[in-house]
């Protein structure tokens, strides 16, 4: 076998051969994930796949839930872009074969999910030993005494060391540490996220990460040390929840949103991030907007690229109605909500938090789910059926703007 694998001469019988580590092979065969190959990298379309992100290959985990395999990368990228020295004798797996495998293996994934649903929630795992309030305070104080350049070197060393120990985490923005801590490295909104965590800790009872330290590498990138949130990501276990549990999650989320909205805005602008600067949001395609002093200024920017009139429904409703501006998480999709045995237990990823019109939290929460009722249910419960007209306006904006999300 290894002789054949190393052979590159004409006439080799190897065609579409995939070699996998046993645990990966088991999950792939049973439909837990697919290997996706873009059609543009198959001949004769593109001779240089390096021009595409990920080389045109990536991993797509098969819903429902999200299977955990220790050797499967969390960022859904392949460790190395598949390549071959001679596509004639050693061709890469064809896109059609990978697609057929995904279709055939999907029912196996559904059968396993049904077994998990019948079994109910697994027994709750004990949380690892973590720092208490006193430990957090002591660590904050100790790190504040260390010069910035030393902390940057220390965090860079920790980041590389973790990737060396666990290559699965290579490229991941967040690395878990002992004592219930984690290290986040990002090239955007580090200062804003750190300040948002402090505000949430001071003014609410929300179970969010507690900031330990933050330091900037340059003008945009930096590190955050914070506590971890334990539990299950809601998008991983949503298929296990009953309608009653989903309603309760929505009600618990509503209470936390009400607490968020009590956080005071101490900046000189009405609509701004937590530091009084421009607001950011994944909805803005990497841009920063504002800050703004009126809601209408924000809506003007939101609808600037729309090719339809603003003085007609549904856009006119955004101008006619009066909105409070309040502290907003801006990214409450299910991967940022944690649950424990069907109850809401934490919220993470506060990098886009800021002060925005009250309806924004609702429309941004529903953004990834395309109006699918079973996925939107917890959010309609959380907001008690409000802001449906604003959601219609947001969909209208996306459909009539010269950009695609």
CATH code for the part of the protein at 133-227: 3.30.200
Q: Is pLDDT at 370 greater than 50 in this prediction?
A: yes
Is 252 in contact with 344 (CB distance < 8 Å)?
Answer: yes
Radius of gyration of the chain (CA): 24
| pLDDT value for 7 | 47
**Where exactly are the structural domains of the chain?**
12-119, 133-227, 233-399
Tell me the per-residue pLDDT of 253-312, one tens digit each, with 9 for 90 and over: 999 999 999 999 999 999 999 999 999 998 887 789 999 999 999 999 999 999 889 999
Q: Is pLDDT at 403 greater than 70 in this prediction?
A: no
Within 145-203, residue ranges assigned H as helices are 148-165, 190-203
User: How far does Cα 380 stand from its chain's mean position?
Assistant: 21
The Cβ of residue 403 has, within 10 Å, a number of other Cβ atoms equal to 7
| pLDDT value for 154 | 98
Within 261-368, residue ranges assigned H as helices are 295-302, 315-320, 360-366
Q: Across-strand partners of 393? A: none
Return the higher-pLDDT residue of 133 and 49: 133
Tell me the per-residue pLDDT of 189-221, one tens digit each, with 9 for 90 and over: 999 999 999 999 999 999 999 999 999 999 999
Is 72 in contact with 172 (CB distance < 8 Å)?
Answer: no
pTM of the model: 0.85
- Angle among Cα 345, 349, 351 to the nearest 5 degrees reads 145
pLDDT band per the 50, 70, 90 thresholds, residue 388: very high
Alpha-carbon distance 363 to 344, whole Å? 20
Alpha-carbon distance 197 to 353, whole Å? 9
Is 35 in contact with 28 (CB distance < 8 Å)?
Answer: yes
pLDDT band per the 50, 70, 90 thresholds, residue 53: low
CATH superfamily of 233-399: Aminoglycoside phosphotransferase (APH), C-terminal lobe (3.90.1200.10)
Residue 93, classed as helix, strand or coil, is coil
Q: What are phi and psi of 213, to 5 degrees?
A: -165, 155
What average pLDDT score do residues 335-339 get?
96
| pLDDT value for 404 | 45
| pLDDT value for 50 | 52
| pLDDT value for 22 | 81
Buried b (16+ CB within 10 A) or exposed e, 226-257: bbbbbbbbbbbbbebbeeebbbbbbebbbebb
Q: Is pLDDT at 142 greater than 70 in this prediction?
A: yes
């Amino acid at each position: 076998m290894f002789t054949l694998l190393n052979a590159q001469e004409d006439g080799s019988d190897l065609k579409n051969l995939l070699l996998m580590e046993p645990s990966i092979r088991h999950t792939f065969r049973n439909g837990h994930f697919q290997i996706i190959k873009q059609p543009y990298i198959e001949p004769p379309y593109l001779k240089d796949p390096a021009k595409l992100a990920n080389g045109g290959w990536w991993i797509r985990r098969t819903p429902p839930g999200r299977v955990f395999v220790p050797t499967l990368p969390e960022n859904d990228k392949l460790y190395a872009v598949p390549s071959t020295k001679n596509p004639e004798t050693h061709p890469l797996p064809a896109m059609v074969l990978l697609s057929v495998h995904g279709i055939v293996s999907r029912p196996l994934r559904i059968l396993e999910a049904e077994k998990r649903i019948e079994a109910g929630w697994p027994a709750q795992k004990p949380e690892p030993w973590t720092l208490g309030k006193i430990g957090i305070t002591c660590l904050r104080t100790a790190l504040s005494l260390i010069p910035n350049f030393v902390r940057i070197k220390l965090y860079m060393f920790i980041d590389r060391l973790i990737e060396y120990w666990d290559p699965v985490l290579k490229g991941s923005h967040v690395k878990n540490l002992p004592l219930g801590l984690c290290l986040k490295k990002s090239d955007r909104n580090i200062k804003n996220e750190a300040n948002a965590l402090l505000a949430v800790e001071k003014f609410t009872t929300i179970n969010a990460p507690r900031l330990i330290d933050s330091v900037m590498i340059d003008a945009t990138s930096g590190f955050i040390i914070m506590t971890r949130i334990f539990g299950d990501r809601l998008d991983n276990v949503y298929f296990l929840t009953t309608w009653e549990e989903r309603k309760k999650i929505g009600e618990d989320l509503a209470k936390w949103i009400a607490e968020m909205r009590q956080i005071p805005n101490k900046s000189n602008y009405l609509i701004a991030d937590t530091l009084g600067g421009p607001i950011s949001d994944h909805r803005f395609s990497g841009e920063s907007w504002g800050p703004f002093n009126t809601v209408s200024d924000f809506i003007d920017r939101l609808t600037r690229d729309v090719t339809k009139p603003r003085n007609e429904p549904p856009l006119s409703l955004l101008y006619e109605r009066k909105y409070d501006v309040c502290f907003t998480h801006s990214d409450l999709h299910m991967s940022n909500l944690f649950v424990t045995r069907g109850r809401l237990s934490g919220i993470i990823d506060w990098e886009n938090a800021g002060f925005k019109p009250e309806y924004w939290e609702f429309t941004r929460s529903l953004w990834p789910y395309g109006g699918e009722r079973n996925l939107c249910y917890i959010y309609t419960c959380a907001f008690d059926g409000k802001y449906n007209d604003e959601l219609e306006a947001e969909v209208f904006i996306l459909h009539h703007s010269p950009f695609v999300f």
